[in-house]
Amino acid sequence: MIHNTIQDKITNEFYWFHQHPEVSFKEVDTTARIRKDLQEAGIRILALPLQTGLVAEIGTGDHPIVALRCDIDALPVTEETGLPYQSVYPGRMHACGHDFHTAAILGAAYILKEQENHITGTIRIIFQPGEEGPSGAVQVVRTGIIDDLDVIFGMHCTPLLEVGNIGYIYGPAMAAVDAFQIDFTGTGTHGAHPNKGTDQIVAAAAFVGAVQTIVSRNMDPFAANLVSVTHIEGGHNWNVIPDKVFLEGTTRAMTAEERKLIRKRVDSIALHIGEAYGVQTTVRWIAGPPALCNDAVWGKFANEVAQKHDFVLAPMAPSLGGEDFAFYTEKVKSYFTFVGTGLSYPNHNAKFKVDPAALYPAALYMADLAVQAAAKLKGSTEHD
Ligand code: NI
C-alpha cells in the first residue's frame, strides 16, 4: 500500500470502529474487522486462546522482539458528540479513544509490513480486549505471548494536548486501582426504637468519614493516594432502620507499598467500626491493574523518535487514573506514550472526541519506534 492509501484506509477504519463500539470482552465485530484488515495486508495472526482481541506479528520471528499494544474496547456511554460518524448503538461509545488506538496501530502494522524485509527481529502487535475492565491485559499475559518480549510500547490519546504533541511521563505515571465493596449487616429496627437493634446507617456513615483519614493521616503528604466512596445503598423509608447497608468505592496509589497499606487500613477501619457499632462488616476487594511505571531509558528513546517525526514534546502530570497496560510493565521493560488528539471534553465523557488528523502521524511514529527499538536492541547485544 502506498502511504496515501494507508492514511485513507486507517481513517476509514477509524470511522468504522467509532460507529460500531463494543464494550469489554464483547469486541466480536471489532476483532473480526481487525483480523480481516490484517489478513488482506498479508500480516500473520498468531493462534492464541483469546475470545476477542488478537495478536499479529511482522518480521523474522527471532529476537529482538518488540511489541506495540493497543486496546480495542468501548464504554457503556451514550454518545453526544453529534459527529457524522457517531456511534450507531445507543448506550455504547468509544469515549476513551480506543478506536483511535486501534486504527493508529493498524496503520503502524501496515507501515511495518511494507518494510518487513528490513526489520531486525520481530514486531508483535497486540490488539488487546477489555482494557476498561476487568483487565483484558491479564488474559493476554496468560497466553504467554509477552514472555519473550524485549520491550513493549503502549499509547493513549490525550484530549489535553493539541495534534502534533506527544505527552510524556518518566517513572510512576498512572495509579494502581482497586475497588472495595462493604456490607454492613445487623438487626434492623423501628426508627423510633434504635436501641432494639443495630444501626447499619450510622456505622456506614462513620466508615465514610473515618476512611478519609487514610490518605490525610497514614500516607506521606507528598505522595499521591486516594480513597473515594462512590455508592451507598440502604433503607427504603423514613421510619425503618434497615438491616443492611451496601457501600462501595475505589482506592488509588502510585506504588505497590502504598497500595498495600491503603488496603490494610480500609480493612482495619471497616472491622473496627463494625465492632464499635455492633454491626457486622464484610469487605470484598476487586483488584485492578498495578501502578504504571514508565521506564525512563525507553521513554527518552521514544521521545527522540517522536522528535524525528516533528512531534513537540510535552511533559504531563501523573494521573490517578488506571491503565491495564501496567500488567505488562510488571513483566517487561515498557513505555506508555501519550498522543495529543486535540483539546476536547475529558475521556469517558459523552462529548469526548479525537481529531482524526492525529491518526497517521501516530501510526508513523509507533511503527518507527518499533523498528528503531529493535535496531537498538540488536546493536546492544552485538556489542555485549
Ligand atoms: Ni483508555
Which residue, 234, 261, 287, sits at the end of a domain? 287
Provide the grid cell at 177: 486501582
- 102 CA → ligand 1 middle, Å: 11
Q: Give yes or no: residues 243 and 336 share one domain.
A: no
Ligand 1 centroid distance, CA of 70 (Å):
10
CA distances from 283 to 206, 230, 246, 292, 375 (A): 15, 15, 10, 26, 50
What is the domain-level CATH number for residue 226? Answer: 3.30.70.360
Instruction: State whether 228 and 354 are in the same domain.
Output: no
The whole-number pLDDT of residue 186 equals 98
Q: Are residues 203 and 131 in the same domain?
A: no
Residue 100, all three cell numbers:
483511535
Cα 232 to ligand 1 centre (Å)? 27
Please tell me the distance between residue 80's alpha carbon and the centre of ligand 1 in angstroms.
18
Distance 277 CA to ligand 1 centre (A): 41
Ligand 1 mean position, distance from CA 323 (Å): 7
The three-state secondary structure class of 133 is coil
CA of 346 to the centre of ligand 1 (A): 11
The whole domain housing 197 covers 176-287
Question: Cα-atom radius of gyration of the chain, to the nearest Å?
Answer: 24
pLDDT at site 3: 64
Ligand 1 centroid, distance to 124 Cα (angstroms)? 21
Nearest to 242 by CA among 181, 182, 183, 190: 190
Which grid cell is 22?
463494543
- The answer on 321 and 282 residing in a single domain is no
Q: Position of cell 470484598?
A: 284
Distance 380 CA to ligand 1 centre (A): 33
CA distances from 90 to 26, 100, 233, 301 (A): 15, 20, 27, 42
State the distance from the centre of ligand 1 to the C-alpha of 122, rounded, in angstroms: 26
Residues in the chain: 384
Ligand 1 center–CA 156 separation, angstroms: 7
Contacts of 37-44 spanning 24+ positions with Cβ under 8 A: 37/9, 37/13, 37/106, 38/106, 38/109, 41/1, 41/109, 41/110, 41/113, 42/113, 43/109, 43/113, 43/125
Residue 72 alpha carbon to ligand 1 centre in Å = 9
**Per-residue confidence in pLDDT tens, the chain, 384 aa:** 666 799 999 999 999 999 999 999 999 999 999 999 999 999 999 999 999 999 999 999 999 999 999 999 999 999 999 999 999 999 999 999 999 999 999 999 999 999 999 999 999 999 999 999 778 999 999 999 999 999 999 999 999 999 999 999 999 999 999 999 999 999 999 999 999 999 999 999 999 999 999 999 999 999 999 999 999 999 999 999 999 999 999 999 999 999 999 999 999 999 999 999 999 999 999 999 999 999 999 999 999 999 999 999 999 999 999 999 999 999 999 999 999 999 999 999 999 999 999 999 999 999 999 999 999 999 886 654
What is the CA 376 to chain-centroid distance, rounded?
28
Strands 65-71 and 151-158, how do they pair? parallel
d(CA 308, CA 362): 13
The alpha carbon of 2 and the centre of ligand 1 are apart by a number of angstroms equal to 30
Measure 75 CA to ligand 1 centroid, in angstroms.
9
Alpha carbon of 374 to ligand 1 centroid (Å): 26
How many Å lie between the centroid of ligand 1 and the Cα of residue 7? 23
Same-domain status, 47 and 18: yes
CA–CA gap between residue 311 and residue 304 (Å, rounded): 10
Q: How many domains does the chain have?
A: 2
The CA 98 to ligand 1 mean position distance, Å, reads 6
d(CA 6, CA 362): 12
Same domain? For 239 and 337 the reply is no
Burial class (CB in 10 A: 0-12, 13-18, 19+), 210: middle
**Domain match, 280 and 309 both:** no
CATH code of the domain in which 90 resides: 3.40.630.10
Q: Measured in angstroms, how far is the CA atom of residue 281 from the centroid of ligand 1?
A: 34
**169 and 41 share one domain:** yes
- The grid coordinates of residue 308 equal 524525528
Kindly state whether residues 168 and 207 are assigned to the same domain: no
The verdict on 221 and 337 lying in the same domain is no
Output the CA–CA distances (angstroms, integers) from residue 85 to 53, 99, 264, 363, in the order listed: 23, 12, 47, 21
Instruction: Please identify, among 263, 287, 311, the residue that sits at the C-terminal boundary of a domain.
Output: 287
Q: If DSSP states are collapsed to H, E and C, what string results for 264-310?
A: HHHHHHHHHHHHHHCCEEEEEEEECCCCEEECHHHHHHHHHHHHHCC
The Cα–Cα gap between 144 and 228 comes to: 35
Report pLDDT for 1. 61
Q: What is the pLDDT of residue 291?
A: 96
Distance from residue 214's CA to the centre of ligand 1 (Å): 28
pLDDT at 41: 97
Of 256, 287, 318, which marks where a domain is finished?
Answer: 287
> What pLDDT score does 2 carry?
61
Ligand 1 mean position, distance from CA 157 (Å): 8
Q: What is the pLDDT at residue 228?
A: 97
Task: Take residue 107 and report the three cell numbers written for it.
Answer: 496503520
CB 343: neighbour CB atoms within 10 A?
12
Q: How many Å lie between the centroid of ligand 1 and the Cα of residue 118?
A: 32
C-alpha 174/C-alpha 335 separation (Å) is 12
Is residue 326 domain-shared with residue 307, that is, in the same domain? yes
How far apart, in whole angstroms, are the C-alpha atoms of residue 102 and residue 73?
A: 9
Q: Are residues 166 and 180 part of one domain?
A: no
